[in-house]
């Protein structure tokens, strides 16, 4: 883990200040565009898995609830692949640099997403179509495994003193941007097309359009400079040959802490964005809650809620630079426990849009509080020579613990035990996060070049 500022740390800061850096505009674009595409891809898949894939790829199950569960289980494949991706890309990111690794991870992710939009349906290719869907989803997860941690390092390793959390918000803001673009695309498609058209070809459009975002992201990342912190490590000859072995040997505690700090943000997000979409728009016979909303209506409410998410990210990061990361994360964890116990009562009325908006806005506000400071806090837990590997592994293990099976588990819980059981599930994850944060030391003033 990074160490508090020392005389050596001050000399390192002087060296960093003399190094050339990418412009703030380039840092924002390079860090934000990749995570925007990451979340765009996952939101597009989550929406398709909740609304279209049960009929496109799992129509022969004969049971609509089983079809929905099977579709949501394919959602988990990329999360299982992500730690493998973080091992691969983390190794090269700590050895070869952040820039080239981020370019390759973005390209890998982009190709897999585009190919999902080209797949034939089950009616055309049978089980082969499902296998190819799972394969593309796995490759997508591999690429995603190296994305967030690299983007967070591009932002924080270029940050001026005292503004690491604010700069760390750049990749975090990619989440609401990607969400808004994905759901906005589905919203427009469903406005001008009926269900038959969406099942026939409409669901493919968001996946195919991702190619435009990938091309823009690649152009930005090819032009950016390597981060000054990594170049300083090269000058000092502190780049390690086996960063994975080093991180598991010296930083295993930080890996566990980081996993559970991030996990609750995944659980909360996919409860809000994927499970609640299915719960709010489907009747009980199809695994939903019978709330009576159309898919288009619920997407619009989600897009309004995600604006609160973006504002909360910036707010929490500004305060994380002022009062410390731990205080903000402790407060968000405690608030999440309360929210988890209360929100089921907001999802019990028929077409109660006001209650659902309270659920979404409060949930996304807490999501921003919990998610924003992580862009700085998670990298700060690790030394510079293993930072890409450590933060990437922690972040992507959290994807399995906190998100991989959330839509499927929440759907199963709500259909068997009621919506309160989903709240208890979220509360347990929030408590795990709280314990993990309390076991960490404050990292706001650590020497980030160490």
In this structure, are residues 360 and 422 in contact, taking their beta carbons and an 8 Å threshold?
no
Neighbouring C-beta atoms of residue 118, cutoff 10 Å: 11
Neighbouring C-beta atoms of residue 250, cutoff 10 Å: 14
Secondary structure (DSSP) of 103-170: HHHHHHHHHHHHHHTTPPPHHHHTHHHHHHHHHHHHHHHHHHHTHHHHHHHHHHTTPPTT-HHHHHHH
pLDDT in tens, 382-440: 987 888 888 888 988 888 888 767 777 887 888 788 889 889 999 999 999 999 999 99
In this structure, are residues 370 and 175 in contact, taking their beta carbons and an 8 Å threshold?
no
User: Which residue would you say has higher pLDDT here, 65 or 196?
Assistant: 196
In this structure, are residues 46 and 54 in contact, taking their beta carbons and an 8 Å threshold?
no
Region 5-28: what's the mean pLDDT? 57
Q: Which domains does the chain have, with CATH numbers?
A: 23-438 (1.20.1250.20)
Residue percentage of the chain with pLDDT more than 90: 33
For 224-372, where are the alpha helices, taking DSSP H only?
228-236, 243-250, 252-270, 276-281, 295-323, 325-342, 353-371
User: Residue 152, CB half-sphere, CA atoms under 13 Å: how many?
Assistant: 29
The pair of three-digit structure tokens given for residue 443, joined into one six-digit string: 């990292």
User: Phi/psi at 446 (nearest 5 deg)?
Assistant: -70, 155
User: Residue 373, CB half-sphere, CA atoms under 13 Å: how many?
Assistant: 29
pTM of the model: 0.81
What is the pLDDT of the chain when averaged over all its residues? 85
pLDDT of residue 106: 87
Q: How confident is the model at residue 8 (pLDDT cuts 50, 70, 90)?
A: very low
């Amino acid at each position: 883990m990074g160490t508090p500022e020392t005389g050596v740390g001050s000399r390192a800061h002087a060296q960093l200040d003399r190094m050339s850096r990418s412009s703030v505009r380039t840092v924002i674009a390079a860090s934000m565009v990749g995570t925007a595409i990451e979340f765009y891809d996952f939101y597009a898949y989550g929406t398709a898995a909740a609304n279209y894939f049960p009929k496109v790829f799992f129509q022969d199950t004969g049971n609509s609830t089983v079809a929905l569960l099977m579709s949501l289980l394919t959602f988990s494949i990329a999360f299982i692949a992500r730690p493998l991706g973080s091992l691969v890309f983390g190794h090269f990111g700590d050895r070869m640099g952040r820039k080239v690794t981020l370019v390759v991870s973005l390209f890998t992710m982009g190709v897999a997403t585009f190919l999902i939009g080209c797949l034939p349906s089950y009616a055309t290719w049978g089980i082969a179509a499902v296998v190819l869907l799972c394969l593309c989803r796995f490759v997508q997860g591999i690429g995603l495994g190296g994305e967030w941690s690299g983007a967070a390092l591009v932002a924080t390793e270029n940050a001026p003193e005292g503004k690491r959390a604010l700069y760390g918000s750049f990749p975090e803001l990619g989440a609401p941007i990607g969400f808004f673009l994905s759901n906005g695309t589905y919203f427009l498609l469903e406005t001008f097309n009926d269900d038959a058209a969406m099942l026939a070809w409409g669901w493919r459009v968001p996946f195919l359009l991702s190619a435009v975002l990938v091309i823009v992201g690649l152009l930005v990342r090819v032009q950016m400079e390597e981060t000054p912190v990594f170049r300083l490590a090269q000058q000092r000859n502190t780049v390690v040959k086996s960063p994975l072995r080093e991180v598991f040997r010296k930083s295993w505690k930080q890996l566990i802490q980081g996993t559970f700090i991030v996990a609750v943000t995944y659980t909360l997000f996919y409860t809000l964005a994927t499970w609640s979409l299915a719960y709010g728009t489907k009747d009980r016979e199809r695994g939903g809650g019978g709330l009576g909303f159309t898919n288009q209506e619920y997407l619009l409410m989600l897009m309004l809620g995600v604006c609160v998410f973006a504002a909360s990210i910036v707010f929490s990061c500004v305060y994380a630079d002022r009062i410390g990361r731990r205080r903000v994360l402790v407060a968000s964890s405690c608030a999440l426990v309360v929210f988890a116990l209360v929100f089921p009562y907001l999802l019990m009325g028929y077409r109660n849009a006001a209650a659902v908006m309270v659920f979404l806005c409060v949930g996304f506000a807490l999501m921003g509080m919990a998610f924003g400071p992580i862009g700085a806090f998670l990298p700060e837990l690790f030394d510079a020579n293993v930072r890409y590997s450590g933060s990437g592994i922690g972040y992507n293990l959290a994807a399995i613990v906190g998100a991989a099976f959330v839509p499927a588990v929440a759907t199963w819980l709500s259909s068997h035990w009621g919506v309160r059981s989903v709240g208890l599930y979220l509360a347990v994850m929030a408590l795990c996060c709280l314990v993990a944060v309390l076991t960490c030391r404050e990292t706001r003033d650590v020497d980030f070049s160490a």
